[in-house]
Amino acid sequence: MSKVLVLYYSSYGHIETMAHAIAEGARSAGAEVDIKRVPETVPEEVAKGAGYKLDQAAPVAKVSDIADYDAIIVGTGTRFGRMSSQMAAFLDQAGGLWASGALNGKVGGAFTSTNTQHGGQETTLFSIITNLLHFGMTIVGLDYGHAGQMHDKDLVGGAPYGATTIAGADGSRQPSEIDLEGARYQGRRVAEVANKLFG
């Protein structure tokens, strides 16, 4: 079966929670899955003062790691409608992998979190997807097989471009079960495509 990397950056834990759901979905399709996070670039005293979640158990990834996987699903919270600087700094270091074609044909996906319902989820997903397309990757989004993203009775995340959640202005809202179902669904779909291509 395929090897899948869930690569994420999470300041407050919302994306960390989504990453575990993505991984759960990929494992349900029989994939071998690792969860890794990108390095924090904010000084520790600043991160502590801002209430960052500093006890995340996932190992810190090295750029060279991503070439070892058949699929990479990238998640980060949004920053003004685009990916976080931490994730951008990590992906910006992958020029050597791009130049060698090491990521060509691999499967990619994206997921994100915003404070508000209209906080730039889709533009953030596209900022990640654009990067993955430049790497030569085949993108798998969150198709409408996950009907929960069309739910209109409660606040829910999700877009055709990837799984999402909404943290709330103060960060107190945790991913809903519908949001987590979307993450599991996308993880499974990415793994299924990778299994067909590489399994």
What confidence tens digit (pLDDT) does each residue in 19-29 have? Answer: 999 999 999 99
Give the ranges where the chain is alpha helix by DSSP (H). 14-28, 44-49, 85-92, 95-100, 121-134, 177-198
CATH class label, 3-198 = alpha beta
The residue that leads in pLDDT, 148 or 105, is: 105
| Domain parsing of the chain, residue ranges | 3-198
Confidence grade of residue 155 (pLDDT, cut at 50, 70, 90): confident
Is position 126 annotated in a ligand binding site? Answer: no
* Interval 29-88: pLDDT, tens: 999 999 999 999 999 999 999 999 999 999 999 999 999 999 999 999 999 999 999 999
Q: The whole model's pTM is what?
A: 0.96
Report how far residue 12's alpha carbon sits from residue 158's, in angstroms, rounded to the nearest whole number: 19
Is position 14 annotated in a ligand binding site? Answer: yes
What pLDDT was estimated at residue 148? Answer: 80
Burial 34-43 (b: 16+ CB within 10 A, else e): bbbbbebeee
What pLDDT was estimated at residue 5? Answer: 98
What pLDDT was estimated at residue 153? Answer: 79
Report how far residue 74's alpha carbon sits from residue 36's, in angstroms, rounded to the nearest whole number: 10
Kindly calculate the radius of gyration of the chain based on its CA atoms and give it in whole angstroms: 15
**Burial (CB count within 10 angstroms: exposed 0-12, middle 13-18, buried 19+), residue 171:** middle
Is position 108 annotated in a ligand binding site? Answer: no
Is position 146 annotated in a ligand binding site? Answer: no
Is position 13 annotated in a ligand binding site? Answer: yes
Is position 76 annotated in a ligand binding site? Answer: no
* Interval 86-143: pLDDT, tens: 999 999 999 999 999 999 999 999 999 999 988 999 999 999 999 999 999 999 999 9
What pLDDT was estimated at residue 150? Answer: 79
DSSP state letter for 70: S
Is position 98 annotated in a ligand binding site? Answer: yes
